[in-house]
Structure 1
Amino acid sequence: MKTLQTFIAYYKPYKKALAMDLFFAALASVPVLIYPLLVHQITTKALTNAGIAADTLIRMIGLFLFLIVVEYMSNFYTDYYGHAMGAKMETDMRNELFQHVQQFSFEYHNKARTGQLMSRITSDLFDISELAHHGPEDATISLVRIIGSFIILANINVALTATMFVIFPLMILFAYHNSLKVKKALKQSKERIGDVNAQVEDSLSGIRVVQSFANEELEADKFKRSNHFFLESRKKGYFTEAWFFNGMTAFISFMTLAVVIVGALLVSYKQLMLTELITFLLYITTLTDPVKRLVNFTQNLQNGMAGFERFRELMAVKPDIVDGPDAADLHSMQGKVEFDNVSFRYADESNEVLSNFSLTVKPGEYVALVGSSGVGKSTLCSLLPRFYEPKAGSIRIDDFDIKAIQLKSLRSHIGIVHQDVYLFAGTIRDNILYGKPGASDEELIAAAKQANAHEFIMRLPAGYETNIGQRGIMLSGGQKQRISIARVFLKNPTILILDEATSALDNESERAVQESLEQLAKNRTTFVIAHRLSTIRHADRILVLSEQGLAEEGTHAQLLEQNGLYAKFYQLQ
């Protein structure tokens, strides 16, 4: 009931649309209830021993045509406007879910499977849309037709009516019991198709690695396993559905048989006219549709609720990094950064990556982080924009604890250039503008020139309108990196993080990108994570990290003179 109440709350913006949909659904049921009565009137009054009563027949035909128009218009309204209402609710939920998922920290996304998230955002919500439209509508139509049929038939013959409707409670109990099994099977199928999506997404994203290792068969086997589990869940679902639907059909057939037997007995004892028995049999056909609708409603309810429960499960996950109640919006920053006894370890890991780490960086200072893999260089830089939260200690910018700054405000002042550049499918213009949506062409071109990207962009067939493909596959590594730098130039942040931005490039590309990075770092507080020590010789300060924490600190010349860990790294290169 709590799940249902939560679901019903999504109807609130569409109360009028829902009311109109239910009104026309009920109105569409009225002609269906009247049709058998008109047939009864025609057989008893229009057709007599003296022949056909023309006036009565014409009136009946006129009423038939009028009811057909009413039924058509009502059904058209529910089919179009009802579906539109369901689609709007689906859109609202999808927007809400997508925005919610975007708030999850790196900690969550490190463990989550993209395919499962995609399944919840797409197919699950489509099922919810079908429930939002067909659920109340089918329930209304079924209720009107069943109650209307009972009243009309009870006025014709109580005994035969009781025969029909005594079977209904048994049918309802059967439907309720088996619908729970259907719901369980459908929910399992949704989880399995999520696994299939995750496998497809993983294999196709790494298609170049797959083909380079000639491991197509390995990936095919992994996909077959996921697909097989999905097949087994669907077979189980089909079995429960077949038992459910065919059981309902058997109940309808049994009801028809009961009416024929009891009706024949009543006719033989002169307690029922043959025309009235025909009317009853016509109403069985009239009742078949609402019963099917009830079955459809039950299926939609279980299918939609299974999807809605998965929707609620994800919505119930609270983002672990959020704005505090009094978080400030800082319009400008000087760029002073302080780490005060910061400790951090990743979830499900016992060892700390950082332990009681302290550091103060002056505004505009260029600081390089050096050390072997796993000592916390990238972690340190990920804590600054609050991609992760420290387990202990605090981080301050301009003497403000970063937890007291709004996330959007904090991250708007921090620019990051990664080693693994992510460019979105679309044009070069779109990707540079990602740094400052709505920027002018002049700002865009200026940022590209600062990043040494303008010249190669203008040599492309469509210039800034060139489509670069998925993840920028149409560009070289150096070109992609310069586009990402132009994006940060356009953002114009106070604090800059360069995460091994040139380590994957060839020497020529590295020189071009390094010039861009040096231009970008001017007058900004800059953190550089570097493996190539030649790129950080001019840093104001170099921090050498080890598994024990901060091992050495100084300029390039000072550290070489100390002949310690940094000197060892430099000599190895």
Structure 2
Amino acid sequence: MAAAFGRLAVHGRRRRPAIRHSEAHPVCGRPCHSRQALRPAAADRRSRLGDGGAARRIRLYQQLHVQQSRPADRLRDPQPPVPPFAELDLGFYDRRRTGDLMSRMTSDVNQLQQMVSSGTMGILTDAVTFIAIAGYMLLENAQMTVALLALFPVMFLTARRYGGRMRRTFRRVQETVAEMSSHLQDTLSSIRLVKSFSAEERESAVFARLSADNRDANLRSTRFSAIFSPMIDLLQYAGMAFVLAFGSWQAMRGDMTAGSVIAYLSYLRLLQNPVRRFSRLMSTVQQSAAAYDRIMETMSAVPDVKDRPDASELRLAGGEIAFEQVSFRYSSSSSDVLHEFNLTLAPGKTTALVGSSGAGKTTAAHLVMRYYDATRGRITIDGTDIRDVTQASLRRQIAIVSQDVMLRNGSVRANLTYGKPGAAEEEMISAAQAAYAHPFIEELPDGYDTEVGERGVRLSGGQKQRLSIARALLADPKVIILDEATASLDTESEQLIQAALETLLSGRTSLVIAHRLSTVRRADLIVVMEQGRIVQSGTHEELMEQGGRYRHLYELQFPQQAG
């Protein structure tokens, strides 16, 4: 072995390339006698590049950044083929937590973008480098190269084994992040409930437990990452030891020169650099793969309610709505909520649904809006099955005013015009006046430009309800659905809301859901529901004469009048 090293040293000195001192300087034309003389040429080239070279480099960086960001940006792009969250049906949201969805579209997408922007170009470059160097090494010494490349399947199997485990641990990390986001979103959205029950310490303890779970998951993933890279390095050092021993043996036999062995070691180092960088990148790859799995689980979701390929635009004439043998059950339920439900809502008339909680009243309204599709039977508007028209054209013709008023964090103006973004100022004010909302809006600090806060927290219940009615009036729908619109209002607010509702319902096909029978006495038709079936129907006077369930409910609410 010592003799071999001696031969390597001799041959190494013998084959060292000489520097040609007679080459002319590329700028001045004089002979260059040392490497020092080349420095002015390099400096001159840098000076000739000047600001133009810097500008070109900046433009190149910007182009690369844009190209690398596009794959992740497409995950947020609301264009096909990736279905946006907004196009998924309500059943999808019933089964998932808001915080989890937010985590998938922020944390997971950012993780994937980090991989795309920082790792893709390096992986492609390293792959080309690896193939080129391996090919050259095969030409130089096929026997040694084949033996050396036999180590790479071992590296591949090691990467595959540990890669799967790393992927599972990183997925657990992202799941714990989603759990933390869900809890935080629930806590902040119901902060008044937390304060009212003095549950701050309890919620903090829950968040601390979730944070500990996230910490433990991160430690497990870090352990796997810390083990993987040294294992790959160990295999690479084994390859270098093999080359050194085998090359020395061939040098002793005279099959290789010392210079060839040294060059081969240099090539091996170049070959190992891409593998080493990939092993360092392995944790990012597996973390991004786990993020990609979670993203695609959501983005590949197929909505239960979707437009048919030949769906047409809804054109309303009178606005008659008919339930024909409709049965429905939620995906999480084992029994039907509606049972062979038959009802016709006369055009331009008001139909009221009353009955006990859980009778299926709100479900019937949601089916009209096509938030869900009927399990059996069909719903028609002017004789057209609502599944044969587009969801957008159907919902443009319907407005819903519910007890739980949904206002967005923005100005009064933005909330009023949400259903009709291009509405003129005069139209908006007229709708607010018809809903008895204009006077209190004028008293707000900035009038129609006043911020209402998240979910309208800066307004009272009556004010929010009047804004909701004004928003519906401005949209000018042909069909109105009122779902307990006055259930939680005081007497004064209820009187104002009732006056606004009379304006809203006038001349429109209306479906009113109410527990307070005082709000439905004027309805053209009152339908009493129990356990998803119709048990009575008629006007207030007719139902009082019939007795039965309606009269029983009325006497419970107004015992003095009944007496």
Does the 8 A contact of 2:83 with 2:300 survive in 1?
no
* Distance change >3 Å, CA 157–CA 322, structure 1 → 2: closer
Q: Aligned to 2:73, which of 83, 91, 96?
A: 91
- Normalised to the residue count of structure 1, the TM-score between the two structures is 0.82
Within-5 A mapping of 1:154-553:
167-254=151-238, 271-273=257-259, 277=262, 289-547=273-531, 549-553=533-537
Which one-letter code corresponds to 1:370 in the other structure? V
Residue by residue over 1:126-145, the C-alpha shift from the partner in whole angstroms, topping out at 9 and shown as x without a partner, is 23223333444122221333
Q: Is the 8 A contact 1:447 1:489 kept in 2?
A: yes
Residue among 19, 26, 29 paired with 1:45? 19
Distance 1:480 1:42 in 2: 86
The residue matched to 2:77 in structure 1 has which SS? Answer: helix
CA RMSD of aligned residues (A): 3.5
Q: Which residue is equivalent to 1:108?
A: 92
Give the whole-Å Cα distance in 2 for the aligned partners of 1:177 and 1:43: 46
Q: 5 Å matches for 1:67-82?
A: 79-82=61-64
Seen in structure 2, the aligned counterparts of structure 1 residues 150 and 418 have a Cα distance that, compared at 3 Å, is: same
**Counterpart secondary structure, 1:313:** helix
**Higher alpha-carbon Rg:** 2
Quote the offset at 1:150 in angstroms. Answer: 4.9
C-alpha separation in 1, matches of 2:345 and 2:173: 53
The aligned amino acid for 1:362 is A
Which stretch shifts more, 431-440 or 190-199? 190-199
Q: Which residue of 2 aligns with 1:57?
A: 35
Confirm or deny: 8 A CA contact 1:539 1:555 kept in the other structure: yes
User: Is the 1:42–1:60 Cα contact (8 Å) retained in structure 2?
Assistant: no
1:532 positional shift: 1.7
The Cα shift of 1:158 comes to 8.3
2:116 to 116, 121, 132: 132
Deviates more, 1:192-201 or 1:157-166: 157-166
Aligned residue in 1 for 2:11: none
The 10-residue stretch of structure 1 (83-92 or 492-501) with the greater mean CA deviation from structure 2: 83-92
Q: Contact 1:544 / 1:566 at 8 angstroms: preserved in 2?
A: yes
| Secondary structure of 1:395's aligned partner | strand
Change (3 A) 1:365 1:217: same
* Counterpart-to-counterpart distance in 1, 2:368 and 2:141: 80
Secondary structure in structure 2 of the residue aligned to 1:332: coil
Change (3 A) 1:536 1:448: same
For residue 345 of structure 2, what is the amino acid of its counterpart? Answer: V
- SS for the counterpart of 2:344 is strand
Given the superposition, is the C-alpha separation of residues 324 and 124 from structure 1 closer, same or farther in structure 2, using an over 3 Å criterion?
same
The Cα shift of 1:234 comes to 1.9
Separation of aligned partners in 2, 1:179 and 1:193: 21
C-alpha distance 232-350 of structure 1, shift in aligned 2 (>3 A): same
Question: Corresponding residue for 2:560?
Answer: none
Q: Using structure 2 for the length normalisation, give the TM-score.
A: 0.83
Offset, 1:493: 0.6
- In 2, Cα distance between equivalents of 1:170 and 1:74: 43
Q: Which runs of 5+ in 2 are unaligned?
A: 1-13, 23-30, 558-563
Q: Which residue of 2 aligns with 1:554?
A: 538
Contact 1:139-1:297 at 8 Å conserved across structures: no
Q: Secondary structure at the match of 2:341?
A: strand
- Checking the alignment, whether the CA contact within 8 Å between 1:46 and 1:56 is kept in structure 2 is no
Query: Secondary structure at the residue paired with 1:122?
Result: helix
| 1:317-345 C-alpha deviation (Å, 9 max, x unpaired) | 21111112322202434211111111122
Q: Is the 8 A contact 2:243 2:265 kept in 1?
A: yes
Residue 258 of structure 2: SS of its match in structure 1?
Answer: coil
CA distance in 2, matches of 1:109, 1:205: 17
Question: In terms of mean alpha carbon deviation, does 353-362 or 126-135 score higher?
Answer: 126-135
Q: Provide the C-alpha distance between the structure 2 equivalents of 1:384 and 1:240, rounded to a whole number of angstroms.
A: 53
Contact 1:134–1:297 (CA under 8 A) maintained in structure 2 = no
Question: What is the CA distance between 1:247 and its match in structure 2?
Answer: 2.1
**Other structure's SS at 2:442 match:** helix
1:145-181 superposed Cα distances (whole Å, 9 cap, x missing partner): 3345456778888899789766555444433332222
Q: CA deviation at 1:369?
A: 1.1
Name the CA shift for 1:464/1:253 in 2 (closer, same or farther; >3 Å).
Answer: farther
What is the CA distance between 1:237 and its match in structure 2?
Answer: 1.1
Q: Structure 2: how far apart are the matches of 1:217 and 1:67?
A: 63
Contact 1:163 1:259 in 2 (8 A): no
Shift of 1:399: 0.8
* In 2: Cα distance, 1:523 partner to 1:550 partner: 26
One-letter amino acid matched to 2:544:
L
Secondary structure of residue in 1 paired with 2:377:
strand
Structure 1 contact 157–272 (Cα < 8 Å) conserved: no
State the one-letter code of the partner of 1:93: L
Matched-pair contact (CA < 8 Å) for 2:83–2:299: no
1:180-210 deviations in Å (ceiling 9; x for gaps): 2222222222222222211211222111111
Cα 1:529–1:173, aligned 2, differ >3 Å: closer, same or farther?
same
- Report the CA distance between 1:78 and its aligned residue: 6.7
Instruction: Output the CA distance in 2 between the equivalents of 1:47 and 1:182.
Output: 56
AA paired with 2:258?
Answer: L
Q: Is the 8 A contact 1:432 1:486 kept in 2?
A: yes
Contact 1:164 1:255 in 2 (8 A): yes
Q: What letter corresponds to residue 428 of structure 1 in structure 2?
A: V
| Aligned residues of 1:124 and 1:190 also touching (Cα < 8 A) | yes
The alpha-carbon deviation at position 501 of structure 1 amounts to 0.6
Residue 79 to residue 245, structure 1, CA distance change in 2 (3 Å): farther
Offset at residue 488 of structure 1 (A): 0.7
Q: Tell me if structure 1 keeps the 8 A contact 2:15–2:259.
A: no
Residue 333 of structure 1 contacts residue 413 of structure 1 at CA under 8 Å; is this kept in 2? no
- TM alignment of 1:115-126, pairs within 5 A: 115-126=99-110
Report what 1:34 is aligned to: none
Do the aligned residues in 2 keep the contact of 1:42 with 1:57 (CA within 8 Å)? Answer: no
Task: Find the aligned partners of 2:355 and 2:42 in 1 and give their Cα distance.
Answer: 87
1:563 deviates by 3.2
Seq. identity, %: 35
Structure 2: how far apart are the matches of 1:57 and 1:161? 35
Q: Secondary structure at the match of 1:523?
A: coil
Residue range with higher mean Cα deviation, 198-207 or 544-553: 544-553
Range moving further from structure 2, 242-251 or 511-520:
242-251
Mean alpha-carbon deviation: is it higher for 489-498 or for 383-392? 383-392
